[in-house]
Chain A
Amino acid sequence: MRRSPGYRLQKLLINAGAYLVLAVFGFLIIFPFLFMFFTALKLPTDVFRSPPRLLPMSPQTVTIDGQEFPLYLVETEAGVERLARVARGAPVVIFASVEDPSQTFERAPREARPVGGFTNQQTALIDGQERKLWEIEEAGRTIRVFELSRANLGRFADPANPERTLDRSLNDARPLERLDPQIANYQRVLELQNIDRSLTNTMLVTILVVLGQVTTSVLGGYAFARLAFPGRDSLFLVYLGTIMIPFVVLIIPMYQLMVIIGWVDRISSLILPWIFTAYGTFLMRQFFLSIPKDLEEAALMDGASRLRILWQVFVPLAGPAIATQATFTFLYAWNSFVWPLVVINTGNFNNQVLTLSLMVLQGRAADSPNLVMAGTTIAVAVPLLIFVLAQRYFVEGIATTGIK
């Protein structure tokens, strides 16, 4: 079939539209993570800005006579110059005359007297706005004025020629800044909160939960798939049914169970109850069912034990399924929050996991979003790394659960 030029143009437009939609959504999806990543690298002075800014910046400085001064772009008679701010001047108020508002005067706030006194200052309607009236001295006479604006004066010096200085309003000078990521924030957040200990705890818990879940569900999945025993099918139905039961029903009895067996505040409460999974067992069973029977029958004829068949025939074949289950369990264990919150509850900081520390950190360091974001980056980075390494299994895993 020949494609006409019009068809090709239409196709091109559709593709461009598709990319546009994807890019807009993609930007919205990824932006919070960019914000997290860049905020984690900011200086404390760079965090609270309105309007906000994404990149971590710090003032550019110049050294004059062994002292560091910030650099500014200042408008002077010679055009726009790069000057160092050597001193912060007193604030000045710009007043305009009541009679002739185009006439303005710069004064220090102290030099103006309120008309009628501070407690009962007189006002006047100027350009439809009510203004407070002040009196200032100008060339020997007293003028009635109102406040037009305020400015902070700064003394600027030429870095090449420090003798040459001039005073300018800081409002008119633009600070020069440079990209300056603060890697040290990560160090600081590790010291501030026990993020490092939580990180290793989370790793340990996650690794053991993944190993445990994979082991029990491979064993159970094999039994459900291949070993006929009385009550197997009804037991399997019960397992399927429990997938529907939400965790919230279990929080309170599980907590009380932990109290009874003395596991409150213990790492074991984060690991041992979670190495049994109905869902994983179900997934493994489904996979094992798809493996042809002749393979194991040959091995059985040779007198191999069931455990050996499972280990040498089924497990190698189930590699992708196991990897899928492992990645999902990993995410689940790494990000779990409610259970640790409930069971690690008496302030045993040594047994906290990342989600808990992050929660505590964002309360404690509410004034330092840069540190909070550094902690969050640490918590998010590891799953992200796993995702990059095992992307295939994520997508495959979701596909299999969806097709079910």
Chain B
Amino acid sequence: MATTTAQRPVPAERATLIARLGAAWQGLLAAGLALAAWGMSQATWAQRDGLRLVAVALIGLGALSSLLAAGLMLRRNRRGRLLGLALNYVLAIGCLLSLLGTLGVYTGLDEVANRFYPRAWLLIGVLAGFLIASSGDRFADAPRVQAAYHRTGRWVMIGSVVVLALSMGALQGLVTLLLGLRQPVALALLAGASLFGAAFWLLWRPQTARAFGAGERDAVAISGYLFIAPNLLGFLLFFAGPLLFSLYLSFTNSDGFRAEFVGPRNYATIFSLEVVRLESSSQRASEVLSPGFVELNRIGNLVIGARDRLFWIALWNTVVYCFWVTILSVVPALLIATILNSKIPGMTFFRAIYFIPSIAGVVGVAVIWKWLYNSNIGFLNYGINQVLGVINLLPGVELGPVNIPWLASQQTALASIIIMAAWQLLGFNTILFLAGLQGIPNDVYEAATIDGAGAWQRFRSITLPLLGPTTFFVVTTTLITTLQVFSEPFVMTPPPGGGPNNATLTSVLYLYQRGFNRFEQGYAAAVAWVLFLFIFAVTIVQFRMQRRYGEM
């Protein structure tokens, strides 16, 4: 049906008229946008010069593309219509979002939280509805009963949400919003949104489409863009934009408010390393190092100096952490997954148990472990001593009671955090391995058993090779996660974190301290990019290795 109407041609004069009207609108728009860009370039906008430049460029770009759209439309080119649609859509959405901002919808979420606070218990209704609906699944063989459960559950959920919304004052909120429209700015934005919205709709109409000779393909493309638009806008606004912004920041000395372009100075500081030879081991390092350099490490008589000593310490700690956590959480996970994969009863129970730490969240887990690590009243030392006590029952063995200071000592602090992180990641990796193991067909094992392969041989020559992709995935995700470690040392060591004596200072923690304790955000952005490139390089190496192993 839709196709037949699309094929009916529009009279030529009418099509020309539509094209001219569209072109006129786009031309007008181009002029308006150019004017706005010019006005903005003249205005003084305190402190945010870079931002103004970007805004002027964007609006100028909009003006140019509007002009282009006008030209294309005059020639009745269907691309002109697509461009016009995009421009009007963006402008309408922009007006709408600014309108919401002017009306205080975004900041009003605080008020929503205020009102939600005493009424959150009403969510029990939603939970009850969910439970009712899902308990209907037990009657899968009686569709009518099941449907009744589902319907009841759904209505209970909807009802509770409505009650919650009404009791939170949704209606009054709407009235307040409408009254907010009395402000002139809000009215102007509303007018803008309606205008661009109307223009969009007029360009979108099937008649317009036919006037520009657009077919079904354009219709599908437009709906494609419309569907992806919310996602794409958010992506540009909160991902791609900040990403580029971050690259710019890393070349400035931004303190969060003011930023001056300083070129690659931040990177130069980070990468300033030098190696000098001491004349004698009693000589002080500061005598041979260039000014501004601090001793990082020494190998024999060779002193390694760095301008930013803490960056390298943090990076080293992060690498050590990443290495050990990956080993300690991947190898046992493989063992446990292999056991869980055997068809003995009770495995789902254990699977659930192992998964709990990954649900609990790093902060809660870190708080718990901080107490377990207490050297006097913590369970960890106690448990170790109990185990040692049992071992001491063997003749000739005498292992004294230990009193490991764990987080309090420079020697053991990083190890403490490594153990905890491995504990938390273990279950997640186990489930991943289990999924991989269940993908290996059983008859491969049976064939091997008939050929006389033992358990270990089967594991080595069947399980490990076939599990290659899973292992790659597990190791990669663990590496990427652990290289970004922050919360564990931040929560478990006294503020500002990273102690004792920088033993648990990790790269992201260092970034946070530079960026948010000292507000050297330009420098912190540079640290972030170096870390990002490091993570990227590690992943690429992983991919290479995976490919090589895959060919074998």
Contacts and interface: CB of A to CB of B under 8 A. Distances in A.
A250 B239 contact: yes
A96 B152 CA distance: 82
B350 A253 contact: no
Interface stretch (B182-190, B276-284, B356-364, B392-400): B356-364
Given A200-B117, A219-B227, A255-B256, A22 B340 contact: yes
Interface residues of A, number: 112
Interface string B244-256: 0110010000101
Contacts of A380: 359-361, 364
Interface string B526-550: 0011011001100100000000000
Interface of B: 1-2, 48, 51, 101, 106-107, 109-110, 112-114, 116-117, 120, 123, 130-131, 134, 217, 220-225, 227-228, 230-235, 238-243, 245-246, 249, 254, 256-257, 332, 335-336, 339-340, 342, 344, 346, 350-357, 359-365, 367-372, 376-379, 382, 423, 426-428, 431-432, 435-436, 438-439, 470, 473-474, 480, 483-484, 486-487, 491, 495, 508, 511-512, 515-516, 521, 524-525, 528-529, 531-532, 535-536, 539
Nearest to A194: B117
Interface of B is mostly: helix
Nearest to B121: A200
Interface stretch (A114-122, A135-143, A169-177, A259-267): A259-267
Contacts of B427: 29
Given A200-B113, A350-B110, A251 B231 contact: no
A256 B352 CA distance: 41
A34 to B, nearest CB: 10
Nearest to A22: B350
Residue from B224, B233, B357, B531 with most neighbouring chain A CB atoms (10 Å): B224
Given A197-B117, A398-B431, A33 B532 contact: no
Given A220-B228, A387-B356, 13 more contacts: A25-B354, A29-B354, A32-B423, A52-B377, A52-B382, A229-B224, A229-B225, A248-B486, A260-B48, A351-B113, A355-B361, A380-B359, A389-B131
Nearest to A384: B359
Contact of B356 (A30, A220, A402): A30
Residue from A29, A51, A203, A335 with most neighbouring chain B CB atoms (10 Å): A29
B516 A220 contact: no
Given A203-B123, A229-B224, A266-B106, A250 B364 contact: no
Interface of A: 15, 18-19, 21-22, 25-26, 28-33, 35-36, 39, 47-52, 54, 196-197, 199-201, 203-204, 215-217, 219-220, 222-224, 227-230, 232, 235, 239, 242, 244-257, 259-263, 266-268, 271-273, 275-276, 278, 281, 303, 306, 310, 331, 334-335, 337-338, 342, 345, 350-351, 355, 358-359, 362-363, 369, 372-373, 376, 379-380, 383-384, 386-387, 389, 391, 394-395, 398-399, 401-404
Contact of B110 (A51, A199, A254, A266): A266
14 contacts: A19-B346, A22-B339, A216-B234, A255-B515, A257-B241, A260-B48, A266-B107, A268-B110, A273-B234, A342-B516, A387-B356, A389-B131, A402-B436, A402-B474
